[in-house]
């Protein structure tokens, strides 16, 4: 039996009257390839930001590698990276420089 690498249980994020995600539950086994696809506004970024501990869910919970995404986000960040597509840095920055720059923000 495979170990579950990611587990979401009833994850919900409300933004006032609007919902980012509603009662989302799924798991991803270790070694499994999983992709998020969907139209803009479907909740992909909200889910990933919640998993990374960057935003707090309204309800529900999630774990990555057995660590709670809200209370152990700093532990998760040691093993999992997140680079949002909408962020822009310096135009001529190389990938290695971007990774070091980002790592230095957490040091």
Instruction: Output the domain CATH number for residue 48.
Output: 3.40.50.300
Q: Is residue 104 part of a domain?
A: no
d(CA 38, CA 23): 17
pTM metric for this prediction: 0.77
Per-residue pLDDT of the chain (107 residues), as tens digits, is 569 999 999 999 999 888 889 999 999 999 999 998 999 889 999 999 999 999 999 999 999 999 999 999 999 988 888 877 766 667 788 888 888 887 888 76
Q: Is residue 70 part of a domain?
A: yes
Q: CA of 74: how far to CAs of 12, 13, 91, 95, in Å?
A: 22, 21, 28, 22
Q: Is residue 34 part of a domain?
A: yes
Per the structure, the count of domains in the chain is 1
Q: Which domain holds residue 52?
A: 4-79
């Amino acid at each position: 039996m495979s170990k579950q690498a990611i587990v979401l249980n009833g994850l919900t994020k409300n933004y006032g009257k609007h919902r980012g995600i509603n009662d989302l539950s799924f798991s991803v086994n270790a070694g499994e390839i999983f992709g998020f696809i969907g139209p803009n506004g479907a909740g992909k970024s909200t889910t990933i930001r919640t998993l990374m501990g960057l935003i707090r869910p309204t309800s529900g919970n999630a774990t990555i590698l057995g660590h709670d995404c809200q209370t152990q986000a700093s532990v998760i960040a040691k093993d999992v990276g997140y680079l949002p597509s909408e962020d822009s840095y310096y135009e001529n920055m190389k990938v290695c420089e971007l990774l070091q720059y980002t790592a230095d923000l957490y040091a």
